[in-house]
Structure 1
Amino acid sequence: MSSIERLDYYVRDTRPCMTSAQTGAKWIKELLEGHPDRIHDAFRMSKRIYIDLLHKLEVDHELQGSQRTTAREVLGLTLYILAQGGSIRLAKERFQHSTETISRYFSKGLTSLLLLSAEVIKPMDPQFREIPAEIRSDARYMPFFKDYVGAIDGTHVDARIPVEDQVRYIGRHGTTTQNVMAVCDFNMCFTFALAGWEGTAHDSRIFARALRDNRLNFPHPPQGKFYLVDAGYLLKMGYLKPYPDTRYHLADYARGSRPVHGRQEHFNKAHSSLRSIIERTFGVWKKK
């Protein structure tokens, strides 16, 4: 490479960069008017849900655009980054905006979604007055588990972390993850979520923080009501663990030739079966 070629390589090109005719606004218009699979693949939701979500955020959570960018595009680029696990740079090319503009509007869209989450990720009835239908209609659980209101567990979610902070986030499988604690009811609806903890954080540590920090609005069980938790959680009133040193996981009962014996094994088997609702809920969420 000659000296002139090297100079050309390092000198910044001053020509306009975002010049594609396929702007973000035009792309979203295509998605809304095109085949329903396209918008679902791009945003992980249907056209109807996207339109309803946009209306909700505009009316209740002040999602706004600008003179050059509509609220529809702000929501679109936010969902694109979240659904595709994309970077700001990829969104910059897709929506034909500068890095600063993409970053600013992604922050706005994310803030609106977080405000909405406080409205929807919560128990339908904070007092848990009704026996869950899934328990009431199942002889394996009724009446023994009639006062149980949900299950708690943690799951690891892939995370993109700056190099200098990655060590704390490297989980069991050698990848950077965040440990997300969640609560769900027996209708497979999340009623609480606490994200952002490093992959090396133990479930009991995150659980203790959720209980102590009133700002997180954790839905504590009323007196006489209980959450199902696994053996790794703290033993506290309102949070019921399985019996220790006793068969627990359903696979252990399925593999073994020995029948269920004693009240502790009967309890643990029912506990494991009922608590699996949180694992199934995580599975449905991760397939979205």
Structure 2
Amino acid sequence: MWVNEILQGHPDRCYEMFRMEKHLFRRLCATLVDLGLKKSKKMGVEEMVGMFLNTVGHGVGNRMIQERFQHSGETVYRNFHKVLAACLNLSKANIKPLDPLFQRCHSKIQNDPRYWPFFKDAIRAIDGTHVPCVVSVADQIKFIKRKGYATQNVMAVCDWNMCFTFVIAGWEGMAHDARVFDNAISTPSMHFPHPPPGKYYLVDYGYPTLNGYLGPYRCERYHLPDFRQVAGFANNNEFIQAEDESVEVQEEDIDIGEASSSNLPESSRQMQRVRDTIRDQLVNHIN
């Protein structure tokens, strides 16, 4: 009755309760039914999905859902995992590149003079994040790292439409980003979309610089709070121009780093040359 009241009431209530508009909610229910979600004797599909979205959208526990939907804890647990299993099937069909061969350059890169032609071969961006999780007391130690509470280390790939094209979750919080990255690209069953020759992902400095994966220069200011602390930038959000002195200092620092990278494998040196080329093009463009 509560779910029906929400779906028949004001549109804002549906968005606030389920984090989803009415037409999207009904479309999601129909899609999950096609993927195998079935109603039970005492609960319909819309109530199952509403219970699931209310849980993940507001971060509430089983007891709160019991009170809201007036079902036992076992019923809430069982139906939550039914919807979760259907959503995992949905993810396989949607979390993937729209252009698996990466033949087209995205309009966000191609039509923006700040990025074109410097990043014309960049196809996606890879980064990691820590998501809070609940684990048993015996496993908590390996899930607690710098955050001070139990987390999962999640690696995600995002395209220029801000859509996820690959996600790997479940690694404990103490796992290094490079370990998660290596597991993703080296496990065939993960179906990781490897970059074709000449293309590359933009990665965080926590990941290794391999052929096809371009990381930033170390000890450089890339995050927004760092930009706001420097008076040499014209804009708080992006590097548009810099004073000639700061450019010279950066180039000197980079040359020192290059001299110490002679022992790196050829794949890493190749991506460093790509990064240096982009740097030189940007500096010339700014000047």
Q: 2:66 aligns with which of 92, 111, 114?
A: 92
- Structure of greater relative contact order (alpha carbons < 8 Å, 6+ residues apart): 1
Distance 1:213 1:27 in 2: 45
SS where residue 74 of structure 1 aligns?
A: helix
Is 1:239 the equivalent of 2:226? no
**Equivalent residue number for residue 41 of structure 2:** 67
Shift of 1:256: 5.5
**Equivalent residue number for residue 197 of structure 1:** 171
Q: Give the AA of the match of 1:85.
A: G
Aligned residues of 1:242 and 1:248 also touching (Cα < 8 A): no
Shift of 1:141: 2.2
Q: Give the AA of the match of 1:162.
A: S
Aligned residues of 1:253 and 1:260 also touching (Cα < 8 A): no
**Equivalent residue number for residue 34 of structure 1:** 9
Q: 1:260 aligns with which of 247, 254, 257?
A: 247
Is 1:154 the equivalent of 2:141? no
Q: Give the AA of the match of 2:65.
A: A
Q: What pairs up with 1:181-196 in 2 under 5 angstroms?
A: 181-196=155-170
**Equivalent residue number for residue 115 of structure 1:** 89
**Equivalent residue number for residue 5 of structure 1:** none
Q: Give the AA of the match of 1:174.
A: G
RMSD: 2.4
Q: Give the AA of the match of 1:40.
A: Y
Is 1:209 the equivalent of 2:183? yes
SS where residue 164 of structure 1 aligns?
A: helix
Instruction: Percent identity, please.
Output: 45
Shift of 1:210: 0.4
4+ aligned runs moved over 4 Å, structure 1? 250-254, 262-265
Distance 2:137 2:91 in 1: 30
Q: Alignment length, in residue pairs?
A: 244
Distance 1:205 1:178 in 2: 13
